[in-house]
Structure 1
Amino acid sequence: MGQRDEHERFDRKIEAMGVRIKDANTVKVRDDVFDEVTLLALYKLVQKKLITVIGGPISTGKEANVFYGERDGQGLAIKIYRIQTANFKAMNEYLAGDRRFSSVRGTRKGLIFAWTKKEFSNLARAHEAEIPAPEPLAFDRNILLMEFLGRDEVPYPQIRNAEVEDYGKVYREILGYVEKLYREARLVHADLSEYNILYHEKPYLIDMGQAVTLDHPRASVFLVRDIKNLNRYFSRYCDVVDEEEIIGTLVGTGRREP
């Protein structure tokens, strides 16, 4: 009965903000996600009329949960970073060398807030460079609002679960994204794999919180790891380009044929 009371209190709080709860499955993950900090951030976003509906979870993880949402009938992805369970040490590795966030205080809460802002900034850079990725819409504290990549409230699948007709073509498209990200957005994704690429008619890059600027001390290490991950996955389905040749093309010491 106590848990039901908590759920009802949660519902009342959210509904008092003017947000409709669309999916009862939200109850499965909301207890340890919607803490007071998150509710305050949610309230601020609702006040700005950026969220009108909260639906069920799209994905759940140790670092963050992503919920389906809507703003006046338009789909949203609501990404909520979990303050209590996020990997503080791993996040700090990506933030420590980033000049944009050099003034971040070393508290768990401060780090999560900076990470949310960092993902917003990285997605904005990618979007400006016209790289297929979710358009960032707004953020507050540990909540990031993004364009929903999917249809009928169902997200596009990760590429590892998608039906891909021409792997060679898709591989070349993603290499093009990596090059554009590097040359135009001045970023390295730093966690590129079949888990962070969605696919529907074309590939989309997601999960860019860890992406780093080119002056980050480990940018080159992360870039090599991204390329190795891509080649590891796609080599099962198509011919891949030599890793050194790809890196040489990006840093200007080589030339990759289209």
Structure 2
Amino acid sequence: MKNVKNNDINTVSDDLDKDISWDMENIKEYDLKNENEKEHITKKDQQRIDKEYQKKIVERKKKFLESLKTENEVFDKRTLMNLYNLLVGKHVDELSGIINSGKEAVVFRAEGTDSETGELEEYAVKVYRVSNCDFKTMWKYIQGDPRFHLKRSSTRQIINAWVEKEFRNLLRAGDYINTPFAILKRENVLLMELICDEDGNPCPRLKDCKVDYEKFYAQIRDDIKTLYQDAKLVHGDLSEYNILVQDEEPVYIDFSQGVISQHPLSKTLLIRDIKNVCNFFKRKGVKTDYQEFYKHVTGSELHLLDEELAKNY
């Protein structure tokens, strides 16, 4: 699919405006308190209300698209529609900036109102760039997972499965360890809880802050064990970059590469995760032993063959 350049933003806005009838059917909410009030509104008043609401929708779309232009992000039309539909469906009220931007994905900060409490909530919206994703790598992680059955030739299906996998992994892991709560997914867009402090500031990565490293190492060892033995999951890409620090506790993010314990790559990825963790804490002066760590997690000795396979992966 052709990418939308920043200078094509008006064209995309025009395309989105063609969907105005869809928006009107799905999010029309007039300030009418009861059916009796509806009966007393004249046809002229109704047309005026329709026109005002239509203008509000168009302005909201243009504001939304302009915000993406300001952030210098480039997405295809389908992705823009998925993002806009988060606003249409009232899942979020606005996207308020970028938290992190990488080659394959960008994470937006979003704000919304809790439907039950009416309180302001902070969210993270992770968007995978369809044009930049490494589909061959994604396929390796999806292929051996019995939860997914799809054709390799369909790149759109692969990326949708990739986001679905992260969504499921977050929910599954969240029952046992600290992770962001996954709320919903729309193709290549994932909406989840924002891990932040009391003031709403995104929590820092383990890499970027100072903690009680002995305590954190012990906690992470136990969390990986719990994830493996109870949740039957392996993170698959664990490092100081994918662990946040909130209230002096580790919170684990980026579960897209996570695999279930029955996956053919589970041991290889587990060994890699353990070595990454050990290497980080060793640099911080903590005494580590990746072989003992592996036994703590799995209950078994680390076989030389498995370790060699992990080295070459």
Question: Closer, same or farther in 2 for the Cα pair 1:217/1:46, shift >3 Å?
Answer: same
What's 1:197 paired with?
A: 243
1:6 paired to 2:9: yes
What's 1:27 paired with?
A: 69
Equivalent of residue 169 in structure 2, options 122, 125, 128: 122
Question: Quick one: which amino acid aligns to residue 168 of structure 1?
Answer: E
Separation in 2 of the partners of 1:11 and 1:169?
A: 55
Question: Quick one: which amino acid aligns to residue 69 of structure 1?
Answer: A
Deviations 1:65-113 (A, max 9, x none): 0000012121000000110001111111111111111335432211111
Equivalent of residue 79 in structure 1, options 101, 109, 126: 126
What's 2:86 paired with?
A: 45
What's 1:59 paired with?
A: 100
Question: Closer, same or farther in 2 for the Cα pair 1:31/1:11, shift >3 Å?
Answer: farther
Question: Quick one: which amino acid aligns to residue 36 of structure 1?
Answer: K
What's 1:169 paired with?
A: 215
Separation in 2 of the partners of 1:141 and 1:5?
A: 23
Equivalent of residue 248 in structure 1, options 290, 295, 299: 295
Question: Quick one: which amino acid aligns to residue 149 of structure 1?
Answer: I
What's 1:109 paired with?
A: 156
Question: Quick one: which amino acid aligns to residue 107 of structure 2?
Answer: V
TM-score (norm 1): 0.87
The Cα shift of 1:246 comes to 1.7
Separation in 1 of the partners of 2:216 and 2:163?
A: 29
Equivalent of residue 184 in structure 2, options 126, 138, 154: 138
The Cα shift of 1:251 comes to 2.0
The Cα shift of 1:253 comes to 2.9
What's 2:109 paired with?
A: 68
CA contact (8 A) 1:7 1:27 kept: no
The Cα shift of 1:159 comes to 0.8
Question: Closer, same or farther in 2 for the Cα pair 1:20/1:249, shift >3 Å?
Answer: farther
Separation in 2 of the partners of 1:180 and 1:231?
A: 17
Question: Quick one: which amino acid aligns to residue 175 of structure 1?
Answer: R
Question: Quick one: which amino acid aligns to residue 63 of structure 1?
Answer: E
* 3-state SS in 1 of match to 2:138: helix
1:186 paired to 2:235: no
Residue-pair matches, total: 250
Question: Quick one: which amino acid aligns to residue 221 of structure 2?
Answer: L
Percent identity reads 36
What's 1:149 paired with?
A: 195
CA contact (8 A) 1:187 1:212 kept: yes
CA contact (8 A) 1:52 1:69 kept: yes
* 3-state SS in 2 of match to 1:155: coil
* 3-state SS in 2 of match to 1:150: coil
What's 1:212 paired with?
A: 259
Question: Closer, same or farther in 2 for the Cα pair 1:82/1:233, shift >3 Å?
Answer: same
* 3-state SS in 1 of match to 2:95: strand
Question: Quick one: which amino acid aligns to residue 233 of structure 1?
Answer: F
- Name structure 1 gaps, 5 residues minimum: none
Relative contact order, higher structure (CA 8 A, sep 6+): 1
CA contact (8 A) 1:190 1:211 kept: yes
What's 2:49 paired with?
A: none
Aligned-residue Cα RMSD (Å) equals: 2.7
* 3-state SS in 1 of match to 2:283: coil
The Cα shift of 1:52 comes to 1.2
Separation in 1 of the partners of 2:8 and 2:133?
A: 27
- Name structure 2 gaps, 5 residues minimum: 18-55, 114-119, 302-313
The Cα shift of 1:12 comes to 10
Q: Higher strand share goes to which structure?
A: 1
CA contact (8 A) 1:19 1:52 kept: no
The Cα shift of 1:64 comes to 0.6
The Cα shift of 1:37 comes to 1.4
Tell which structure's C-alpha radius of gyration is larger.
Answer: 2
Deviations 1:11-38 (A, max 9, x none): 99597385796897643445422x2211
